[in-house]
Each structure stands twice: as C-alpha cells, then as structure tokens.
Amino acid sequence: MADQPTQPEPVNESLDFDDATPLNTVYVKWDVKGGRDRTHEPHLNTNYALEGSPNIQGVEIKSAVNVKLLCWA
C-alpha cells in the first residue's frame, strides 16, 4: 500500500455515524483535538492524506467486518 498514490480525504458530511452499523461499507470518524470531527466513508485498500495538519486524538470505526487501519506521519 505504501507504493500506491495518495487520494484526497473522503469527507462525508451527510453521514450519520451514530446510526446503525453499515453492512457493505466502513465508516471512520477521526476525533480532531480543537476542531471538528471528520467522518469518512473510505474505499478499502486506499491511501488517504488528511487535509491540513489535524491533531488526531482518536479514531472510531464502524463496520460489519474486521478492519485494519494503518496510520503514519
């Protein structure tokens, strides 16, 4: 995955993260310190770069299947 091109951040403002667990997709919510949380509906096996320089203090994932999230700075 490190050799894949980086894609733009897939922000989805209309996503209701607190609703039921998705069946055919993954929801990722980044907890940003001092800013607004970012909710994503990312494509699997894709590199994404978060816009700006967010101070991430946590991440929450909703999915019907196991998900592995790799992060680096």
Of residues 25 and 59, which shows the higher confidence score? 59
| Cα 17 to Cα 11: distance, rounded to the nearest angstrom | 12
Express each pLDDT in 20-48 by its tens digit.
666 777 888 889 888 788 888 888 788 88
Q: What is the pLDDT of residue 17?
A: 63
For residue 11, the 8-state DSSP code is B
Q: What is the pLDDT of residue 46?
A: 83
pTM beyond cutoff 0.85: no
The answer to whether residue 73 is domain-embedded is no
The answer to whether residue 30 is domain-embedded is yes
Domain total in the chain: 1
The answer to whether residue 19 is domain-embedded is yes
DSSP lists the bridge partners of residue 60 as: 29
The answer to whether residue 70 is domain-embedded is no
